């Protein structure tokens, strides 16, 4: 669901819930990527290690960008 749809149809009481949920998801993503980085250090196949680390980094940067979009969305309830 897009933030504008939430703003138009949702309750203003849920705004903090959405923000907390985004924060939890972002933290889980950071922890998962950290886990990938730690575990891939033990891999013998360096090419595969690099591939997995790059993919994890892409997921992290994409997730961080999406989280920022949520936090920067215009709030229709507060001028």
Mean pLDDT in the chain?
85
Residue 9 lies in a domain: no
Quick one: pLDDT band at residue 9, thresholds 50, 70, 90? confident
Residue 21 lies in a domain: yes
Q: Would you state the pLDDT for residue 45?
A: 97
pTM for the structure as a whole? 0.74
Residue 1 lies in a domain: no
d(CA 57, CA 60): 5
pLDDT tens per residue, range 13-41: 777 788 888 889 999 999 999 999 999 99
| Cβ-contact 61, 29 below 8 angstroms | no
pLDDT at 10 > cutoff 90 = no
Residue 67 lies in a domain: yes
Q: Compute φ and ψ for 75, nearest 5 degrees.
A: -95, 110
Domain boundaries, position 37:
16-72
Residue 58 lies in a domain: yes
Residue 55 lies in a domain: yes
Quick one: pLDDT band at residue 67, thresholds 50, 70, 90? confident
């Amino acid at each position: 669901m897009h933030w504008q749809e939430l703003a138009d149809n949702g309750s203003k009481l849920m705004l903090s819930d959405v923000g907390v949920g985004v924060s939890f998801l972002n933290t889980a993503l950071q922890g998962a990527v950290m886990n990938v980085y730690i575990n891939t250090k033990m891999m013998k196949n360096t090419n595969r290690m690099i591939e997995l680390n790059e993919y994890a980094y892409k997921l992290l940067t994409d997730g961080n960008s999406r989280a920022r979009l949520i936090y920067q969305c215009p709030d229709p309830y507060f001028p």
